[in-house]
Structure 1
Amino acid sequence: MAILVIKHSALGDMILALPLLRAIRQHHAGERIVLLTTAPYVDLLQRSGLADEIWTDPRPKFWQPLKLLALLSRIRNGRFSRIYDLQGSQRTKSYYRLLGKPAEAWVGNAPGCRYHIPDPTEPMHITELRRRQLALVGIPDPGLPDLDFLTGDIARYTLPARFALLVPGGAPHRPAKRWPAERFAALARQLLAQGITPVLIGRAAEQTEIAAIRALCPEAISLCDKTSIADLAALGRAAALCVGNDTGPMHIIAAARCPSLVLYSAESDPRKISPRGDWVRLLQRPSLQDVGLEDVIAALPPVRQA
């Protein structure tokens, strides 16, 4: 027998979905597990060992019917006894319809499927929604993410023994999700005064923010555009603390059990998706422009001791 699990994106969602994949794997021990995902997450899922096979969904556009037909044919030929839709999007609902409404096999929010989880009418964390979804077929609470399978070589960075991660970036098209760079710099200086070296994490698109922080705090170390997902997990296991905006790398670092503070504006709702764990703190204001250094310091979780 074969089981199909659909999970497309995004990075934070994918990290939160790892316990779900582990629980499905355990529940269907001895069966072939196939994951249908998108290209950015193939390497992560291969490293996890939670599937026997990983398929890439090209997510065809409406003007690409041949690609869509090929994907649907591949799914049909897989003869899956159960299909877990962990994406719950309009796209995956359309797959359900175009596959001929395999009601008995489908576990998701597609109307008409036997194992149907309705879309929430009130804000609900995605992990709670998916926990309820798996409970429909008798799968117990999957728990929190475990990133022990992600091991990066961070010795090449030659970091000091005590360091904290700062994640000042975020989606380029949503600048309101970013705490001002000068306040990250003020936090960096505060950490230095406590003997903790600030280490700046980001992508190439965030070079401006990172450069602005280093201009105000030259002692900060920049790893801008130098870290993989595995590196972020390894850094999270070694860091004393992490502070960052609501962005994908924060999910990786927090899932590595790094004491973390995630900053939220009105642009996103932490009730729906946020890192989980007793070591995680959340701070939300309508505008991050109104969040001062003292607010962040007051909200910090206990720093990991050396």
Structure 2
Amino acid sequence: MIEHEPPKEQVLVVHEGDLRATVRMMAAARLIREHHRKARITFLTTPEYEGLVKYCPYFNAVETTLRETAKKGFIERVKLARASKFDFVYDLCASDAARKLKGAMRLSRGQWIDSAPDPKSPDHPSEQIADQLGRAGIGRTGHRLGEAPPPMLDWVDFVAKRSRTLEPAYFGLQDRYALFAPAGDEFQPAFRWPKERWASLAHALKEQGVEPVIVGGPSAREIGRYIAHVTPGARDLTGRANLVQLAGLGRKASFSFGEDVDLLHLLVAAGSSAVMFHPGAEAPHMASPRGPESVILMHAPTLAQISVAEAVQSMRVAGGFARSPEAA
């Protein structure tokens, strides 16, 4: 008599958001995968960051039709929910599209689990999500600040084995380098470290044998060009690397610097220690990037008050000079 294996558990993870929310989501995805080890996990999201999440090992499939599904009529959404046969649905975003999906899923067999952070809460989103999952039986509850498992993009190493475009050498980087993730043109001047300070920091690192590398999207091209022009030897990669490549660079960087920009969250999760510049009288603990290495928050009423010497000293405290290119 032939014994048939029971059907695999079906799990759906729903998420949409900006890059920092997507990076934070990966900590939750890791916990869900560890809890549902043998399940088939589908990630339902939007197209913006498909190029990054499609390599994430926590999902068996990535679908980018969340918004299209939400736009369908209620009856059609109910039919899709019943046909999906998901056993568990984890909502990590609580967006309008997710709420519409939730209404349809209530009429299916799937168990809907709210795991999204509350934007009005004073707690860091990472602790909020970890506690939500704990209440659903995944891990524990009562995480204090800094205790939640951080997102870790260590899986990028496996992608790098198949593509040399993720290696620093692909961009001409051979020795120690530090990544600059400056705020782009869309940020108001009050939220940007002065470009002259960035250039002076690049010069200071060059004197220490660390190559400054400016990264970011199209909005950061102007400051990237400025730093590279003023500081010979600084390398401007703004607009030249995709998110997976940037994660690869973050894995082997000696250090990263940036304002409160989404890209810094990616670099930290990839494994880079970092300094984040933030205006204000208090350290922005609830907005800080999370990852396996140290992050130092430097704040001042105006960012111009943060000196290059202070930034370099913070880098030393976090162990930036001690990290070699092969450390990851």
TM range, normalised to the smaller chain?
Answer: 0.7 to 0.9
1:119: how far off? 3.5
Offset of 1:60 from its aligned partner?
5.2
* Alignment counterpart, residue 182 of structure 2, candidates 143, 159, 168: 168
Instruction: Say yes or no: does 1:106 pair with 2:112.
Output: yes
For 1:294, the aligned partner's letter is A
Q: Which amino acid aligns with 1:159?
A: L
Q: Which amino acid aligns with 2:111?
A: A
State the partner residue of 2:133.
Answer: 134
Per-residue displacement from partner, 1:167-218 (whole Å, max 9, x unpaired)?
1134725554321211100111111111211111122221111122123212
Distance change in 2, residues 1:18/1:209 (3 Å): same
Q: Which amino acid aligns with 2:136?
A: V
Corresponding residue number in structure 2 for 1:203: 217
Inter-CA distance 104–52: structure 2 relative to 1 (3 Å threshold): closer
The count of aligned residue pairs is: 296
Aligned pairs for 1:1-306 (under 5 A) are 1-57=9-65, 59=67, 65-66=71-72, 73-100=79-106, 105-108=111-114, 119=118, 122-140=121-139, 143-150=149-156, 151=160, 152-170=166-184, 172-266=186-280, 270-276=284-290, 277-300=292-315, 301-303=318-320, 304-306=322-324
Letter in 2 for 1:302: G
For residues 106-150 of structure 1, the C-alpha deviation after alignment (integer angstroms, 9 at most, x for no partner) is 2116xxxxxxx8847541111100100110121116722222222
Q: What is the distance in 2 between the residues matched to 1:130 and 1:118? A: 6
Structure 1, unpaired ranges of 5+: 110-116
Q: Which amino acid aligns with 2:67?
A: R
Q: Is the CA contact 2:181–2:216 (under 8 Å) kept in the aligned structure 1?
A: yes
Which letter maps to 1:15?
V
Alpha-carbon spacing, 1:73–1:41, altered in 2? closer, same or farther (3 Å): farther
CA contact (8 A) 1:42 1:56 kept: yes
Q: Distance in 2 between matches of 1:70 and 1:274?
A: 41
CA contact (8 A) 2:26 2:152 kept: yes
C-alpha separation between the residues in 2 aligned to 1:224 and 1:278? 24
3-state DSSP class of the match of 1:249? helix
Does the 8 A contact of 1:243 with 1:262 survive in 2? Answer: yes
Higher deviation after alignment, 231-240 or 293-302: 293-302
Q: 1:65 to 1:33 in 2, by over 3 A?
A: closer
Fraction of identical pairs, as percent: 28
Q: Please, what TM-score do these two structures have when normalized by structure 2?
A: 0.79
Q: Against the structure 1 CA distance between its residues 122 and 46, is the aligned structure 2 distance closer, same or farther, given a 3 Å change threshold?
A: closer
Deviates more, 1:284-293 or 1:97-106: 97-106
CA RMSD across the alignment: 2.9
- Aligned partner of 2:302: which letter? S
Higher RCO (CA-CA < 8 Å; seq separation 6+):
1
Contact 1:60–1:67 (CA<8 Å) still a contact in 2? no
With over 3 angstroms needed to count, the CA separation of the structure-2 counterparts of 1:283 and 1:71, relative to structure 1, is farther
Deviations 1:75-109 (A, max 9, x none): 44212221111112344234323544779712116
Gaps of 5+ in 2: 1-8, 141-147, 161-165
1:299–1:239: structure 2 CA closer, same or farther, 3 Å change rule? same
Matched-pair contact (CA < 8 Å) for 1:257–1:279 = no
Q: Which moved more, 1:179-188 or 1:14-23?
A: 14-23
1:114 match = none
Which amino acid is the alignment partner of residue 154 of structure 2?
A: D
Within 2, Cα distance between the matches of 1:253 and 1:92?
A: 28
Q: Which letter does structure 2 place at the counterpart of 1:252?
A: L
- Report the equivalent of 1:113: none
